Structure formats: C-alpha cells, structure tokens
C-alpha cells in the first residue's frame, strides 16, 4: 500500500514537473524568437539612426486607446511612445492572427517538450518541425505587415504558402510522437507539399535572389525556406525507407499509384500558386 502510494506521488510529481517545464519552454520560445529577430537580425541587415525621443511626434495616431488622457486639445501633438496603434478593423485582424499564431506555437512547444520529457519523441519529425519555424514566423510577420501597411498584392500568394506550410507541419507534428505508427500517405503528402514549394520558389525569385541579386535579406530568406523544405523531403523519404525495411515491405513501401498521385498533387499545387 505504501509502495503504491509512493509511486502515485512520484508520477504526480513528474506530471507537475512536465507541466511546468513545457509551459516555461513555450513562454521562452515565444519570448526569444521575436527578440532575436528584432534585437539582433534586423539590426544586422539594416543600420538606421536612433530615434530622437524629444522631437518625436505621430500625427496619424488616433489616440483612442489613450481615452481622455491624450488627444483632446485641438493643437495636440503626441510625444514619444514605444507602441502606437490605431483602433481600426485592420488592427483587430492583426490582433486575431497574432493570437492564433501565439497560441498555436505555444501549444506546439508544450507538446514537443512533453514528448521529450516522457521519451516519446521521434527525432526525424521534430527536425522537420524545427525546419518550419522560420517559414511560419515569416508568414505571421508578412500577415502583420500586409494588414498594417494595407498592402494586399501578395495576399493570396502568401495565403497559399501559409496554409500549405501549416498542413505539412501539422503532419510532422502529429508524427513527432513515436507511439503513433508511421503513415506513408501522410509522409507522402508532407513530401509533396515541400516539393511543390521548392519548384515554385525555383521558378519565382529564388534563383535570381541567390545567384544574381545582392540583397542579403532576400538571400537569407530564400535559403531559410529552402532548408526547411529540403529537410521535409529528405527526412520524410528516409522515414518511408526505414518503415519499409522495419516491416519487411522491401525498399520502398509506396505503390506506383501513390507516386503518381503525389506527382499530380505537386503539379496541382504549382498551378494554383502560379494562378495566384
């Protein structure tokens, strides 16, 4: 009786520790990624003079969120603020998209942390998820800027990449749990999406930016996308080969019909992206 009570308390303690560590990792990830982006990377890519706080004004700020504290007098001029925002529908959409991104990312980090702590992590798939961090962060940052700047010419194109990237990452995240059996069709779907991204990028700006253009930002951006897609294709194919070998299904547990379906799916995605 005493032994069972001790084991129950031990399991409860591990559960509490897992809960605390997974939440802490989720918070730290969300705190560090934008800090590195804004505080380090952006300062490397561009050099700008510091803001003169004494002379700073913002004539296009509606001051609504400040209530009656500011903006009431006819000759009012705003002083320096770390954050300005207007109360508009676009700000509401920015807030909603940011909440979705933050909550989804937080839960993903918690999920992976708990898999690590309980010894159920599938290494190949967590590498694929890691390779998708930059594309997802870039997607959120583009949605933020498109809505903030009212710049919509790339909206549909970005939506295509955001949705397909999310689908591929969701598959990889699901397969991160080693207790989940491999599903070759899910892996093929993930590989097909990444392959389509590679073909679309190669036919769009990637080759020009990498070999002809001289903008460091665009080169780094496109390489970041390519790394994630290549990891998805290579590790997805590797896992299919390993699954085939472990289950005595030969070298490649995928039928010619499934390969043909993948080719059609990739072609469809490329055509959709071209039309957008």
Phi-psi region of 181 (alpha: psi -120 to 50; beta: other; left: phi over 0): beta
Residues 248 and 179 in one domain: yes
Tell whether 267 is covered by a domain: yes
Host domain of residue 67: 50-87
What is the domain count for the chain? 2
Domain end position, chosen among 34, 60, 87: 87
Tell whether 193 is covered by a domain: yes
Residue 97 burial (10 A CB sphere; 0-12, 13-18, 19+)? middle
Residues 61 and 81 in one domain: yes
Residues 103 and 67 in one domain: no
Residue 199: how many CA atoms within 13 Å on its side-chain side? 18
Residues 106 and 240 in one domain: yes
Residue 80: how many CA atoms within 13 Å on its side-chain side? 8
Domain end position, chosen among 59, 87, 115: 87
276: Cβ–Cβ under 8 A, 6 or more apart, which residues?
A: 156, 157, 159, 160
Strand partners, 177: 121
> CA 142 to CA 150: how far, in whole Å?
11
Structure tokens at 3: 């032994």
Residues 117 and 245 in one domain: yes
Residues 76 and 118 in one domain: no
What per-residue confidence (pLDDT) applies to 230?
92
What per-residue confidence (pLDDT) applies to 71?
65
Tell whether 70 is covered by a domain: yes
Tell whether 144 is covered by a domain: yes
Residues 182-216 have pLDDT tens digits of: 888 899 999 999 999 998 887 766 666 666 666 66
Residues 93 and 73 in one domain: no
Residues 96 and 209 in one domain: yes
What per-residue confidence (pLDDT) applies to 186?
92
Residues 57 and 165 in one domain: no
Tell whether 9 is covered by a domain: no
Residues 78 and 114 in one domain: no
Residue 75: how many CA atoms within 13 Å on its side-chain side? 0
Tell whether 29 is covered by a domain: no
What per-residue confidence (pLDDT) applies to 214?
67
What per-residue confidence (pLDDT) applies to 269?
93
Tell whether 182 is covered by a domain: yes
What per-residue confidence (pLDDT) applies to 101?
92
What per-residue confidence (pLDDT) applies to 241?
86
Q: Could you tell me how far CA 156 lies from the centroid of its own chain?
A: 18
Tell whether 263 is covered by a domain: yes
Report, as ranges of residue numbers, the positions in the chain whose pLDDT lies below 50: 1-2, 8
Domain end position, chosen among 31, 66, 87: 87
Residues 171 and 75 in one domain: no
Residues 79 and 204 in one domain: no
- The CA-based diameter of the chain, rounded to the nearest angstrom, is 80
Quote the pTM value.
Answer: 0.83
């Amino acid at each position: 009786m005493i032994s069972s009570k001790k084991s129950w308390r031990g399991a409860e303690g591990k559960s509490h520790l897992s809960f605390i560590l997974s939440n802490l990792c989720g918070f730290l990830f969300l705190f560090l990624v934008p800090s590195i982006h804004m505080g380090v990377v952006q300062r490397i890519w561009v050099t700008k003079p510091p803001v003169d706080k004494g002379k700073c004004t913002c004539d296009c700020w509606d001051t609504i969120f400040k209530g009656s504290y500011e903006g009431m007098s006819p000759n009012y001029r705003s002083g320096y603020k770390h954050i300005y925002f207007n109360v508009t529908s676009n700000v509401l959409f920015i807030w909603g998209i940011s909440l979705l991104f933050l909550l989804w990312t937080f839960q993903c980090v918690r999920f992976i942390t708990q898999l690590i702590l309980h010894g159920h992590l599938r290494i190949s798939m967590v590498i694929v998820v890691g390779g998708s961090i930059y594309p997802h962060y870039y997607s959120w940052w583009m949605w933020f800027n498109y809505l903030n700047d009212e710049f919509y010419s790339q909206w549909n194109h970005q939506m295509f990449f955001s949705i397909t990237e999310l689908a591929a990452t969701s598959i990889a995240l699901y397969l991160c749990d080693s207790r989940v059996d491999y599903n070759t069709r899910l892996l093929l779907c993930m590989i097909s999406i990444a392959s389509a991204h590679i073909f679309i990028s190669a036919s769009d700006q990637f080759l020009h930016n990498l070999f002809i253009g001289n903008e460091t930002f665009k080169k780094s951006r496109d390489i970041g996308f390519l790394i994630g897609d290549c990891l998805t294709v290579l590790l997805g194919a590797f896992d299919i080969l390993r699954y085939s070998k472990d289950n005595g299904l030969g070298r490649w547990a995928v039928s010619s019909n499934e390969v043909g379906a993948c080719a059609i799916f990739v072609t469809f995605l490329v055509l959709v992206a071209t039309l957008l």
